[in-house]
Amino acid sequence: MTTQSIYYSIADLQLNITFPSECNLPELLPNFEPFRVSFQSDKPISCSVTVTEEEFPFERDKAKLLSDISIVWGDNFTFYETEEAYYILIKTENDPSIQWKMRSSKDFRKNVIYCGPIDKPKNQLISWFCMVAFAQSALLHQCVMIHASVVMNDEGGYAFLGKSGTGKSTHSKLWLTHNEGFELLNDDNPALRIVDEEVRVYGTPWSGKTPCYRAESRPLKALVRLRQAPHNIFYVKEDKDALLALLPSCSAIRWNLNLYSTLINILVVIIDKVKIGELHCLPDKEAAQICFSHVQNYNK
């Protein structure tokens, strides 16, 4: 089988994806196209992903089950660990006896995805596998993926965190409507990275249901956790409270102590450099204005 390798720059890190040569990459992964680059030797490769139509073995009796539930895949998902690797298995909807899978090295630098014949209907699955691999491997480069919606202006980016259904996208839309000069950077899975002692927020190929795939970045000005309430009140979070506000929204494998401790160290630096807040709010104009007034022009 002949292959082709394509490079993508995400958060100034390279993701290398290898596909069978006959695949039409722009059609298969259109959300990745804004991030496509030629090989750049001056930027570190976060991870490599090989997508293959040839199934690789998985010996369940030699593996330890770490999780069998996923927000995205529900009970069709299982996550295993062996001495050398991690395995993620996804049952197919039409035939539960068939399982698509990804095998990853313990640091997620090297990954292999099998999902049967590669075609367009599998683009969400392949994209999701790539996101998991990138999110874990990027931690080793002072970069963390978060579940958030991000708006930006010329000066910086502002990220809104919260549980699914809290209203992150709604709050971003309120900022775009009522606070002049803002645009959407990403609506689901942006990346934060510490670069030269500055925290920056980046767009990524993963933006949930909103097709916002922008290969741009801004200095991160604030991270705000949203909570639905019958009023609009902003609270500043510091130290331990700030860590607890950020941690639930971060992508990290909790069972890998090296990656998890790396995540904590990254968050400690972010907390020291960026304003962290919690907004109890209604989905209205006043919420966006109150939040903006608390975080604009803020310097730690």
* Amino acid type, 283: P
19 and 49 in contact (C-beta within 8 Å)? Answer: no
pLDDT of 176 reads 96
For range 224-244, the mean pLDDT: 96
Interhelix angle for 239-246 vs 257-273, to 10°? Answer: 120
CA distance 125 to 143: 23
Q: Which tens digit of pLDDT belongs to each residue from 65-101?
A: 999 988 888 888 999 999 999 999 998 777 777 789 9
pLDDT of 45 reads 87
Q: Quick check: 300 pLDDT over 60?
A: no
pLDDT of 99 reads 87
Mean pLDDT of all residues in the chain?
A: 93
Query: Residue 115: what are its φ and ψ, rounded to 5°?
Result: -140, 35
| Domains observed in the chain | 3-141 (no CATH), 143-295 (3.40.50)
- Residue 11 exposure: Cα atoms within 13 Å on the Cβ side: 33
100 and 73 in contact (C-beta within 8 Å)? Answer: no
If you write DSSP's letter for every residue of 221-250 in order, what string do you get? Answer: EEEEEEEE-SS-EEEEE-HHHHHHHHGGGB
Segments in the chain forming alpha helices (H): 25-28, 123-137, 168-178, 239-246, 257-273, 285-295
**Which tokens in the block code for residue 144?**
């963390």
Q: Which tens digit of pLDDT belongs to each residue from 129-172?
A: 999 999 999 999 999 999 999 999 999 999 999 988 889 999 99
Q: pLDDT band for 297, please (50, 70, 90 cuts).
A: low
